[in-house]
Amino acid sequence: MGVMIGLEVHCQLNTESKLFCGDSSDHRGKEPNECTCPICLGYPGSKPVINKKAIEHGMRIAMALSCRIADEMFFSRKTYFYPDMSKNYQITQYEIPLCSNGYLTVGELKVRIRRVHIEEDPARLQHVGGDITNAEYTLIDYNRSGIALAEIVTEPDFTTPKQARQFLEILLSILEHLGVYDSEKEATIRCDANISLDGGERVEVKNITGFENVEKALNFEIIRQNGMKRMEVVVQRETRHFDAEAGNTKSLRKKEYEEDYGYIFDPDLPTIRVTAGWLESIKKTQPELPDQRVLRFVKDYKIGDYDAHVLVYTDKNLADFYELCCRKYGKPEVVAKWTMNYLLKSLNWRRERINNSKVRIDTFVEFLRLIESGKITERFAKELIKEYVDTGESPAMLAEKGAQELSDSDLDVVVEKVLQENRKAADEFRSGKEDALKFLIGRALAATQKRADPNRLRDMLLKHLNASIAQ
């Protein structure tokens, strides 16, 4: 079975204002339709003005993806009637995009980038009493309308849904490192996935959010289209919607062809000419990209290539956090170990990213110094870090609180209970089997949720065991 997958990725660009007007692109906490004006609502006579920063963000993306940037470009009107675009057309680039003919390497796969162009975002639709296919009615919030988007279009080079997801994860890291995308502004990356089997007609799954959902939607389409093929049903060219809760796709409409949109040159906007000087100024300020950062981590911090990839590609903010901790604490290998193996695991369990968690550089370094000084054991630290991520409190205070909670009398109770519940192991130790003591220490640690010092427990267990032998 031959699978062909191509992606159209829509990234909200990190600009202060919208693409063609001065309205704020940050509508967090705002009332619906508050961040609007005659331009982004398409009132007759309103005149758009191009946001230069959005074009420069697009140029940075183009350079990162090894694309050819056009010498000049212009905007067109893509005509369609849909409630999320009040003026009944979208201002976008069609005939001459900002750039074309690039690539991005995903493992051993070289994914060709057909084009990257700039366009305005439509409004947000809120479907009430159902989803897009069966809602009772739909509310429209035009706060998002007119925000600058970059659309990144690939060739159909993917042969598995997993490859598509890996591409998106790498692309997101690049966009974050470029500074052109900021997820904290309620920005989204949405994806239209095109898929066909065995050279048949392609199906587009529209507006998928979340990389895991892209993979799920494509897997479902492979099963659905393969089933149709077995039943000798012809796959029609259409646009479908992915229902994340049900895990399936639903038909929305028959797929339009490009000529259906009636593109025309936008008479209100000028042609943009890209000079050599402009390109050079962007190139000089181009930030470090993820692959370059991985190489630097390996070279400067002497950590393994795998560790560097995890730190960089998991989240740019996590990589920034790691570097700042290394500068404050030193010992990059120790910082990497505790960041990757324990801190990241606790964040993932809480479904948090480092930048919106309660973890701070000073307190995390404090945590590492507690381990280094021997004030807490590594066993205890693995439990303490969970409480630290939950609360954000000082690790030293948390450790002290834990120590106070476990007095000698408390541990005596724990030890006596462990010995009563594990008499066979106690008898084996008395008969000369040293490994039985390790087992008993492990049971006692578990009973204290690994808060107690293993050496302290060992001494107390030996005291009780030796006392029983003496008797």
pLDDT of residue 429: 75
180 burial level (CB within 10 Å; 0-12, 13-18, 19+): buried
Residue 451 — pLDDT band, cuts 50, 70, 90? low
CA distance 244 to 46: 39
Residue 80 — pLDDT band, cuts 50, 70, 90? confident
Strand partners, 120: 148
Decide if pLDDT at 56 tops 70: yes
Among candidate residues 121, 65, 144, the one with its CA nearest the CA of residue 98: 65
In this structure, are residues 451 and 405 in contact, taking their beta carbons and an 8 Å threshold? Answer: yes
CA distance 166 to 66: 19
CA distance 383 to 447: 13
Decide if pLDDT at 205 tops 80: yes
Least confident piece of the model among 98-112, 178-192, 384-398: 178-192
Q: Find the mean pLDDT for residues 417-440.
A: 77
Decide if pLDDT at 175 tops 90: yes
What's the chain's Rg over C-alpha atoms?
29
pLDDT of residue 406: 59
Q: Residue length, the chain?
A: 471
Q: Which of 213-227, 396-410, 434-448 has the highest mean pLDDT?
A: 213-227
Decide if pLDDT at 320 tops 90: yes
Decide if pLDDT at 420 tops 70: yes
Decide if pLDDT at 418 tops 80: no
* Strand positions, DSSP E, 74-231: 76-79, 89-92, 99-106, 109-120, 124-128, 137-141, 148-154, 189-197, 203-209
In this structure, are residues 80 and 60 in contact, taking their beta carbons and an 8 Å threshold? Answer: no
Element (H, E) at 245: none
Residue 407 — pLDDT band, cuts 50, 70, 90? low
Q: How many CA atoms lie within 13 A of 374 on its CB side?
A: 1
CATH for 408-470?
1.10.10.410
pLDDT of residue 216: 96
3-state helix, strand, coil in the chain (%, to 5): 45, 20, 35
Structure tokens at 139: 């509310």
CA distance 363 to 352: 18
CA distance 149 to 442: 55
Decide if pLDDT at 368 tops 90: yes
Give me the chain's average pLDDT, please: 90
Residue position matching structure tokens 């005659």: 38
For residue 80, give the 3-state DSSP assignment.
coil
Q: Tens of pLDDT along 226-280?
A: 999 899 899 989 999 999 888 999 998 876 667 777 899 999 999 999 999 999 9
| Sequence spans of domains, the chain | 3-281, 290-405, 408-470
